[in-house]
Structure 1
Amino acid sequence: MTDRRPAAAASAAAAACSDAYPRIVAALIRVTGEWTLAEDCAQEALALALQRWPEQGVPANPGGWLMTVARNRAIDVLRRASVERRKLRELAVLALTDPDPASAQPVQEEVVDDRLRLIFTCCHPALTLEARVALTLRTICGVPAADIARVLLVSESTMTRRLTRAKSKIADAGIPYRVPSGPALAERLPGVLAVLYLLFTRGYNADGRPAFAEEAIRLARLLKQLMPEQNEVSGLLALFLFQHSRRDARQDAEGNLLSLDRQDRSRWDHAAIAEALDLLAATGRNGPYALQARIAACHATAASADATDWRTIARCYDELARLQPTPVVQLNRAVAHGYAHGPSAGLALLAQARAGGSLADHPHALAVQADLTARQGEHDRAAVLFRQAAALAHSEPERRALLDRADRG
């Protein structure tokens, strides 16, 4: 019989790392101020767990075990480097406040607070948006630089340099390692949520990496846990859950994208939809993410595409366009009005959205025009537009889907 203990130990190590990694890194960064040291010690602790746990068994508190090993490794490195005694004293205090590795008690709440500090530090507006996304993936999620580089379409060496520069900028500029308070929190939170939204999109797109969408959901859950009073955090998490609930139904057996009206709704994750609905019910004032979540809820709760409440969706997009009048929002507003009030209404709003020039040759704008044109009965003209959109598509799955739509008339 095959011994499954090594595989079970490896699975336990991976699960423990997913939860403990940001706690360990955040705590060590707070004490030492050394980002690379914190990451290296956390990685070494995981490697040691993978080596020992298959033989010795998984400890009662895997996260506490990893924290202790990483902290002790940091102490050894700092002692050999003869750094100032203050850092060593603080690490000693951290050792006293950490749980015993054999204990089943969770990691101390102070460390949980450190994770929130780390998220806000990684997402500081002094860094470029791409640097914020990369630093969040690397430091909080533990994603290898090579994987981040592939998603952001740069070489691994380039990504490594960018991460190094971002960390140096935080140190050189004296960016505070803290969660802002009062008006500053309201100013900074949207930037943090925008990073998570972009991270989710990178994973949810047709050619994206699903693990990145899952990481975005995990981080949104963490923010919800640490900032339960923030409506937009709840709205963002609900939006992610609604969108991700369709992950298994978005493609057919050949990997072709399926539009909402062609998806098998029985394959949607209805537990995720129920969780998102509960979050939305407890959300008060509608911000941009809560509004997008309410739009997604209309799709998620409709028994069929024909039963979708497009009038409610159109009203939500009207409000969203008032708060966030971006080209993408204006484009989706045109779609909603096209289905709620007829294709002519949608085409009129689409013309207004394209008047600014940013959507002139955008494949999604052409696809919307094609769909509304088809709904007017002009199928030959619609087929031409679908093929034009396919020629400009950003991914192969999108290109195939648009060509298939052209062929269907």
Structure 2
Amino acid sequence: MIDVRPILDAAWRAHAAGVLGVLARRLGDLDRAEEALQDAMADALRRWPAEGVPENVPGWLVTAAWHRALDRLRREATGREKLAVLAATPPAEPTGDDRLALLFACCHPSLEEPAQMALTLHAMAGLPADKIAAAFLLPRSTMAQRLVRAKRRLRGVGFEVGDPLTRLPAVLAVIYLIYNEGHLDESRVLAHEALDLARQLAALLPDAPEAAGLAALVELHESRAAARLDAHGHLVLLEHQDRTRWDRSLIRGALARLARAAAQNRPGPYQLEAAIAALHALAPSYPDTDWPAVRRRYDDLLVLCPSPVVLLGRAVATGFVDGPAAALAEVDALADRLAGYRLWHATRADLLARLNRTAEAREATRRALALATNAAERELLARRLAGLSVP
């Protein structure tokens, strides 16, 4: 008999989100849908070695899971009334709409951000609670409870997408948060899952340029992954990275995706952030980046998303266009809004060092180090601090 476990693993990765989506939409309960799919996977593990792998794997899983869900409802007094309604119309084979419905449900506004991220990774990416807990440096029990509460909160809220554009910003934000949470981690688990989710969303919503913008942005960030850490696992900033290690095929794909999105002439913040990342990707070196163009893109971004963090990014470009003194004035003007933000202190430290104001640069680096939580960032800042000597 054949070992079907690798086939089942591949099927889970490829089809679980769609199957969960169609089941959740029919049952109105993600928890029930997940239980039914797990039962169907167990059935497949028992039956496929003898019966063979079905030609239509997702269709088989939907049918098997549906029968298992109905069996559970028959055994529950509270489910018998619902059973009469559901049993008459079995679900169809999963489609892209089902995946989209599940993704939007995971990012439902009734859930807090950490729960949205965890549930998206669990339901859409198929990650178990222990892997998600490890990625977020949380105890497994804490993550398991978070997932249980999130699924309970979704009972009865409905799994219909409706107008996707109204909920799209929240979904995009959750995927980008997942990426940012994991892009500096050596395991790359969260980064890879976020990249996959961004690509799926762009494929499911071809007429939404911001979905393509996010996918392009994550692809451009990922193109630098091999150069982001040195041989000792130490963080290497963009200005010092070996650009020969960047993934040029990934960059070309991202640029093509971004161009298609821009052709729709509906600009948005993710497209603009991707445009900034593209300017870095195309530059022969950090100093030779088209910094005036970078600053113009930040100006465009400020129109759509006026925020002190965007102003901070603009100030970095100003440092190369007008010099570090002009940039420091822009950074210092943000003190009342960003004094608790580690990157504000780190940016300020860099500008002070370029102006040979070493003692102030050391103090700003200390402040950034005190606020940093990521291990790779802390190690980098510690090295910077050690390298700043007071004359």
TM-score normalised by the shorter chain: which range applies? Answer: 0.7 to 0.9
- Using a 3 Å threshold, how does the CA distance of structure 1 residues 24 and 307 change in structure 2: closer, same or farther? same
- Using a 3 Å threshold, how does the CA distance of structure 1 residues 207 and 226 change in structure 2: closer, same or farther? closer
Q: 1:48 offset after TM fit, Å? A: 4.8
What are the equivalent positions in structure 2 for 1:288-327 lying under 5 Å apart?
A: 288-327=269-308
Q: Deviations over 1:281-325 (max 9, x none)?
A: 112322111110001101111122222111111111122123222
Q: State the partner residue of 1:268.
A: 246
Residues 45 and 66, structure 1, Cα contact 8 Å, conserved in 2 = yes
Q: State the partner residue of 2:38.
A: 43
- Using a 3 Å threshold, how does the CA distance of structure 1 residues 14 and 303 change in structure 2: closer, same or farther? farther
2:80 maps to a residue whose letter is E
What are the equivalent positions in structure 2 for 1:324-403 lying under 5 Å apart?
A: 324-356=305-337, 359-379=338-358, 381-403=360-382
Any unmatched runs of 5+ in structure 1? 99-107
Report the secondary structure of 1:162's partner residue. Answer: helix
Q: Deviations over 1:188-244 (max 9, x none)?
A: 21111111111111121x247522222222222222122111111111111010011
Residues 119 and 150, structure 2, Cα contact 8 Å, conserved in 1 = yes
Q: 1:277 offset after TM fit, Å? A: 0.4
Residues 23 and 62, structure 2, Cα contact 8 Å, conserved in 1 = no
Residues 25 and 158, structure 2, Cα contact 8 Å, conserved in 1 = no
TM (norm. structure 2) is 0.88
Report the secondary structure of 1:317's partner residue. Answer: helix
Whole-Å Cα distance in 1 between the matches of residues 28 and 134 of structure 2?
29
Q: 1:354 offset after TM fit, Å? A: 1.7
- Using a 3 Å threshold, how does the CA distance of structure 1 residues 88 and 115 change in structure 2: closer, same or farther? farther
Q: State the partner residue of 1:26.
A: 21
- Using a 3 Å threshold, how does the CA distance of structure 1 residues 125 and 337 change in structure 2: closer, same or farther? same
Q: State the partner residue of 1:84.
A: 80
Q: 1:55 offset after TM fit, Å? A: 7.5
Q: 1:87 offset after TM fit, Å? A: 4.1
Report the secondary structure of 1:68's partner residue. Answer: helix
Q: State the partner residue of 1:69.
A: 64
Q: State the partner residue of 1:104.
A: none
Any unmatched runs of 5+ in structure 2? none
Report the secondary structure of 1:125's partner residue. Answer: coil
1:338 maps to a residue whose letter is G
- Using a 3 Å threshold, how does the CA distance of structure 1 residues 263 and 328 change in structure 2: closer, same or farther? same
Counterpart of 1:16 (choices 11, 18, 32) is 11
Q: 1:150 offset after TM fit, Å? A: 3.7
Q: 1:58 offset after TM fit, Å? A: 4.8
1:259 aligns with 2:237: yes
Q: 1:407 offset after TM fit, Å? A: 4.2
Residues 19 and 98, structure 2, Cα contact 8 Å, conserved in 1 = no
Whole-Å Cα distance in 2 between the matches of residues 247 and 91 of structure 1?
49
1:143 aligns with 2:138: no
Residues 224 and 233, structure 1, Cα contact 8 Å, conserved in 2 = yes
2:71 maps to a residue whose letter is D
Report the secondary structure of 2:126's partner residue. Answer: coil
- Using a 3 Å threshold, how does the CA distance of structure 1 residues 225 and 350 change in structure 2: closer, same or farther? same
Q: State the partner residue of 1:101.
A: none
Whole-Å Cα distance in 2 between the matches of residues 208 and 319 of structure 1?
34
1:176 aligns with 2:154: no
Q: 1:346 offset after TM fit, Å? A: 1.3
- Using a 3 Å threshold, how does the CA distance of structure 1 residues 312 and 115 change in structure 2: closer, same or farther? same
Q: 1:163 offset after TM fit, Å? A: 2.7
1:119 maps to a residue whose letter is L
Which has the higher relative contact order, 1 or 2, with Cα contacts under 8 A spaced 6 or more apart?
2
Q: Deviations over 1:25-81 (max 9, x none)?
A: 111111222322211222343445456667776544443343333233223323333
Whole-Å Cα distance in 1 between the matches of residues 326 and 49 of structure 2?
64
Residues 16 and 126, structure 2, Cα contact 8 Å, conserved in 1 = yes
Q: 1:393 offset after TM fit, Å? A: 2.1
Counterpart of 2:174 (choices 184, 195, 220) is 195
Q: State the partner residue of 1:105.
A: none
What's the % identity of the aligned pairs? Answer: 42
Q: Which moved further from structure 2: 310-319 or 123-132?
A: 123-132
1:158 aligns with 2:142: yes
2:172 maps to a residue whose letter is L
Report the secondary structure of 1:120's partner residue. Answer: helix
- Using a 3 Å threshold, how does the CA distance of structure 1 residues 304 and 62 change in structure 2: closer, same or farther? farther
Report the secondary structure of 1:307's partner residue. Answer: coil
Report the secondary structure of 1:285's partner residue. Answer: coil
Q: 1:276 offset after TM fit, Å? A: 0.8
Q: State the partner residue of 1:228.
A: 206
Residues 75 and 88, structure 1, Cα contact 8 Å, conserved in 2 = no
Note the aligned Cα RMSD (angstroms).
Answer: 2.7
1:19 maps to a residue whose letter is A
Report the secondary structure of 1:253's partner residue. Answer: coil
Q: Deviations over 1:253-298 (max 9, x none)?
A: 1100011122222222222111110111112322111110001101
Whole-Å Cα distance in 2 between the matches of residues 257 and 295 of structure 1?
21
Report the secondary structure of 2:90's partner residue. Answer: helix
Residues 250 and 258, structure 1, Cα contact 8 Å, conserved in 2 = yes
1:84 maps to a residue whose letter is R
Report the secondary structure of 1:333's partner residue. Answer: helix
Whole-Å Cα distance in 2 between the matches of residues 269 and 50 of structure 1?
39
- Using a 3 Å threshold, how does the CA distance of structure 1 residues 278 and 365 change in structure 2: closer, same or farther? same
- Using a 3 Å threshold, how does the CA distance of structure 1 residues 366 and 75 change in structure 2: closer, same or farther? same
Whole-Å Cα distance in 1 between the matches of residues 356 and 120 of structure 2?
48
